[in-house]
Structure 1
Amino acid sequence: MWLFSGGPKYVPPPPCPLRQLSMHMINTQPDINRAEQALREAMLASDVSILDDLIDDQLLFIGPDGSVLSKEGDLGLYRTEAQHLTTIDFQETRVRLLGGMAFVTASAFVSGVFKGSAFAGNFRYLRVWHQTPTGWRVVAGSVHALGSS
């Protein structure tokens, strides 16, 4: 690039946004894995305090019956013991990162009690995490029953 103040000078191009994003993604993957593990442990322990920290106030979650739950609705299942999970065994997890968001799909064998009825089966989860100043939080998700055993 030519500058008109004394002859030719080289001005380097601005940093490549894709390169910065790639470095961000490399550092983010372990954070998402830790957040997923913390969510799993909190769900198994019915730890509403930790779930409250991990779930965004704007949560939209679609349950296996098609119902749409808010954060309060989701936490209410644990507070009232309407849902108690005894097993969450993830068999496959995939993470895709896009800017300040992470999209996670997972298949899992899950067992427990839901509204008084025992259940066990294979489920597919989708969770959308977004990065906040205080850490990663689930802002959207869904679960779909794949079959029972």
Structure 2
Amino acid sequence: MKKFAIAAAAAALVGLAAVPASAAGVKVGVLTCHVSSGWGFVFGSSKDLRCNYRPNRGAGEHYVGTVKKFGVDLGYTEGGELIWGVIAPTSSLRPGALEGGYAGATASAAVGVGAGANVLIGGLDKSIALQPLSVEGMKGVNVAAGIGAIDLKYAH
């Protein structure tokens, strides 16, 4: 099982290398998400998100959603915060453009205050990249490796 999770994460990273959204895009703002606490399970976990998007120009936006980890995910973590730079193909996005599914590879290990990187691609026509600006900062004991995904809904 451990070898499978590592192989899946490596395959996802290779797939992300071909995605040009972050290389050719423009940083348009910052997305800060508060993650609920909870237990991870052998086959993965799902936790609720409450997010605020601060664009470089214009009014802020609110999103709700879920974060999912597939693969090995054992242990309990208290709620934490994920902060991403938002990279888009253009410098101006319509309201709600971050809504949609995002996927990417994740690998993190947390004991006490942990660190993890989460690079995700999705949103408007799968053209938006969420690049980590801050580590997870979650407290607890949790080991996770596998494919990560989030789903965001625009909260009008």
Q: TM-score, normalised by structure 1?
A: 0.36
Q: TM-score, normalised by structure 2?
A: 0.35
Give the strand-richer structure, 1 or 2.
2
Which structure's relative contact order is higher, taking Cα pairs within 8 Å and 6+ residues apart? 2
